[in-house]
């Protein structure tokens, strides 16, 4: 069968991105490396992506004039965060190619829609989400079955980095947590016995072709991604294949165009459970910048510009360490981490996001260690944690 003809956006033109954070910055850098010019729409006038983009549209994410200005300037627009208003993507789509589209983003930004979608495509993906129940009232709490406790109460919208979720053991805990969250609609998920966590980065082009990156194993600390290791030391060939097949089924069921990352749990008994998806490049995919032929950001450029997708081959084992603002602090004093010592380690690739205000828990950058063997990359990670004062 011949592929449908999809005219590509020439690198002489402009690409747009909704959001000015670090993902927008790294997207802009990848687009610029290919010759594109980049416009960012972001309400803050100082932001990581704004520092590198050729143009910053300073406007709220739902500002009609700002959106129209972005659409007039660019041939295609993407997003760097999942909470961009879906209506804004629809408005942009009346004038330019938008990838991912409002549908994919609106499913991913609402935990109820997301879980329902995972259940609906389980016959094709062969994975299910954690058992769950919508909690919108005290009556819903009274009706919770014992099988869902202990659990995690998560807000339906706007959760990230473990924010907007509370661990609960009893119905009384659920009531207290529901009140604490201002009685917004939540989802109660059964607490599962995790053996480890993985994510699968995938990309699908406008012509329906899709690619899947090597599976990544993720360790979280305090709800925030701490490290990503690829290949994952715990990942069996069987669960890798299952997760990659599931990811490909999910991205095609969604009719999605662009980079999508899907998080999975592997339970102690080996069962694979789908957790959530991010309609954009993802923190757990940063290793692709230094360890794969095509980075996740270059892949996003290719997908939105309707170019052929790039080679996802990983050429080096890799370990990625997130750099949080915490390491700038030593008691009361604030000082710059010893980057020179970190960069003296073989295979260290440092990425800082241009944020001049370190705060605890704030993502300031990441370091990826690439090496001929995973053991060497892990040894460099340990050395870096020693230098940076990060307990292992």
Could you say which residues in the range 235-294 bind ligand ATP, by CB under 6 A? 263, 275-276
Six-digit token pair at 320? Answer: 């990625």
Looking at the Cβ atoms of 138 and 226, the one nearer to ligand ATP is 226
Nearer Cβ to ligand ATP (132/242): 132
Residue whose Cβ sits closest to Mg ion? 263
Q: Say if residues 281 and 300 touch (Cβ distance below 8 Å).
A: yes
Contact of residue 233 among ligand ATP, Mg ion, none (CB under 5-8 Å per partner type): none
Residue 164 in marked binding region: yes
φ, ψ for residue 360, nearest 5 deg: -60, 135
**Contact track, Mg ion, 172-211, x by CB under 5 A:** ----------------------------------------
Structure tokens at 77: 């627009």
Binders in 319-378 for ligand ATP, by CB under 6 A: none
Report the candidate in 160, 159, 152, 146 with the shortest Cα–Cα distance to residue 178.
Answer: 152
The token duo for 217 is: 């194993």
Smallest separation, CB 226 to ligand ATP (Å): 10
User: Closest CB to Mg ion among 223 and 389?
Assistant: 223
- Strand pairing of 76-79 and 14-18? parallel
The site partner of 114 among Mg ion, ligand ATP, none (C-beta below 5 to 8 Å per kind) is none
Strand 55-58 to strand 37-42: parallel, antiparallel, or no bridges (unpaired)? parallel
Under the criterion CB under 6 A, does residue 191 sit at the interface with ligand ATP?
A: yes
180 is in an annotated binding site: no
Helix, strand, coil shares of the chain as percentages rounded to 5? 30, 30, 40
Binding mask 138-177 for ligand ATP (x = CB under 6 A): --------------x------xxxxx-x------------
Residue 36 annotated as binding site: no
Place of tokens 């208003």: 85
Per-residue binding string, ligand ATP, 202-241, x by CB under 6 A, is: ------------------x--x------------------
Q: Which of residues 127-146 bind Mg ion (CB under 5 A)?
A: none
- For residues 255 to 294, the per-residue mask of contacts with Mg ion, x marking binding by CB under 5 A and - elsewhere, is --------x-------------------------------
Partner in contact with 290, chosen from Mg ion, ligand ATP, none, beta carbon below 5 to 8 Å by kind? none
192 annotated among ligand-binding-site residues = yes
Minimal distance, residue 273 CB to ligand ATP, in Å: 8
Largest CA distance in the chain: 65
Find the shortest distance in angstroms from Cβ 82 to ligand ATP.
8
Q: Is residue 320 within 8 Å of 366, Cβ to Cβ?
A: yes
Distance (Å, whole) CA 23 – CA 53: 12
Check the annotation: does 258 bind a ligand: no
Q: Which is nearer to Mg ion, 263 or 290 (CB)?
A: 263
Asked if 197 touches ligand ATP (CB under 6 A), the answer is: yes
Residue 110 makes contact with ligand ATP by CB under 6 A: no
The answer to whether 221 and 392 are in contact (CB under 8 A) is no
Rounded distance, CA 237 to CA 234, Å?
10
189 interface partner picked from Mg ion, ligand ATP, none, CB below 5 to 8 A per type: ligand ATP
Residue 163 assigned ligand-binding role: yes
Q: Which long-range contacts (CB under 8 A, 24 or more apart) does 245-250 make?
A: 245/125, 245/126, 246/125, 246/126, 246/127, 246/200, 246/272, 246/274, 247/200, 247/202, 247/212, 248/202, 248/210, 248/212, 249/121, 249/124, 249/125, 249/126, 250/118, 250/121, 250/125, 250/274, 250/277
Is-contact 115 127, C-beta < 8 A? no
Alpha helices in 100-169 (DSSP H): 102-108, 111-120, 122-125, 138-142
Residue 73 to residue 380: CA distance in whole angstroms: 44
Size of the site for Mg ion (CB under 5 A): 1
Contact 368, 286 (CB under 8 A): yes
Which two structure tokens, joined as six digits, stand for 106?
Answer: 């609106």
Contact of residue 192 among Mg ion, ligand ATP, none (CB under 5-8 Å per partner type)? ligand ATP
Which parts of this chain interact with Mg ion (CB under 5 A)?
263
Binding-site residues for ATP sit at 111, 154, 159-165, 189-192, 197, 220, 275-276
Which parts of this chain interact with ligand ATP (CB under 6 A)?
130, 152, 159-163, 165, 189-192, 194, 197, 220, 223, 263, 275-276
């Amino acid at each position: 069968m011949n592929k449908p003809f999809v005219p590509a956006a020439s690198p002489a033109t402009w690409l747009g991105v909704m959001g000015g954070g670090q993902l927008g910055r790294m997207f802009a850098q990848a687009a610029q490396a290919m010759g594109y010019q980049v416009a960012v729409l972001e309400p803050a006038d100082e932001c990581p992506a704004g520092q590198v983009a050729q143009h910053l549209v300073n406007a709220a994410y739902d500002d009609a004039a700002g959106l129209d200005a972005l659409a007039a300037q660019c041939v295609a627009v993407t997003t760097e965060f999942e909470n961009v208003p879906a209506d804004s993507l629809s408005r942009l789509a009346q004038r330019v190619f938008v990838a991912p589209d409002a549908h994919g983003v609106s499913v991913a930004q609402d935990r109820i829609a997301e879980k329902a979608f995972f259940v609906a495509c389980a016959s094709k993906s062969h994975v299910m989400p954690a058992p769950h129940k919508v909690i919108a009232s005290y009556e819903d709490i009274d009706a919770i079955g014992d099988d869902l406790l202990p659990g995690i109460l998560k807000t339906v919208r706007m959760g990230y980095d473990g924010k907007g979720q509370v661990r609960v053991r009893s119905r009384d805990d659920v009531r207290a947590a529901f009140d604490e969250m201002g009685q917004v609609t939540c989802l109660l998920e059964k607490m599962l016995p995790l053996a480890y966590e993985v994510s699968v980065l995938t990309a699908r082009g406008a012509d329906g072709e899709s690619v899947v990156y090597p599976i990544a194993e993720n360790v979280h600390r305090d709800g925030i991604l701490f490290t990503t290791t690829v290949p994952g030391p715990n990942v069996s060939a069987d669960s890798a294949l299952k997760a990659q097949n599931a990811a490909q089924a999910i991205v095609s069921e969604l009719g999605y165009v662009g980079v999508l990352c899907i998080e999975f749990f592997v339970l102690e008994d080996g069962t694979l459970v789908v957790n959530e998806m991010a309609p954009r490049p993802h923190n757990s995919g940063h290793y692709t910048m230094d360890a794969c032929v095509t980075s996740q950001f270059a892949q996003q450029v290719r997908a939105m510009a309707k170019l052929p997708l790039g080679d996802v081959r990983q050429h080096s084992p890799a370990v990625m360490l997130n750099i949080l603002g915490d390491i700038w602090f030593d008691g009361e004093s604030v000082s710059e981490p010893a980057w020179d010592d970190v960069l003296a380690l073989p295979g260290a690739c440092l990425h800082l996001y241009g944020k001049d205000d370190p705060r605890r828990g704030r993502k300031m950058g990441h370091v990826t260690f690439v090496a001929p063997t995973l053991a060497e990359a892990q040894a460099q990670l340990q050395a870096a944690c020693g230098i940076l004062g990060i307990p292992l």
